[in-house]
Amino acid sequence: LPAAVLLKDTKLMDVKLGQLGSWLAMRDFTPGGILGAMRRGYDRYYNKYINVKKGGLGGISMVLAGYIVLSYMWSYSHI
């Protein structure tokens, strides 16, 4: 198998610094590609933190913390 095929399927955390430019060039930055990536991220988050047998407050508290940080940044944009 060519290395380019393997690099395309590699996750960001597994990409070496020298390969980062070519890895980014292989990404799909069209609106459909971006929406697909957001959907996969949401599905991964939902299945890891929300859709579990013994759930806790971890997933909901992360969403709440993210909302608080965004709200703070929007309210104090002059800083």
CB atoms within 10 A of CB 36: 12
Phi and psi angles of residue 3, each rounded to the nearest 5 degrees, phi first:
-65, -30
Q: What is the mean pLDDT of residues 16-41?
A: 89
Could you report the per-residue pLDDT of 48-68, keeping only the tens digit for each?
A: 887 877 767 877 888 899 999
Q: What is the DSSP letter of 27?
A: S
Structure pTM?
0.55
pLDDT score, position 1? 43
Band the pLDDT of 39: cuts 50, 70, 90. very high
Delimit the domains of the chain by residue range. Answer: 7-75
- Tokens matching residue 43: 């599905």
pLDDT score, position 79? 65
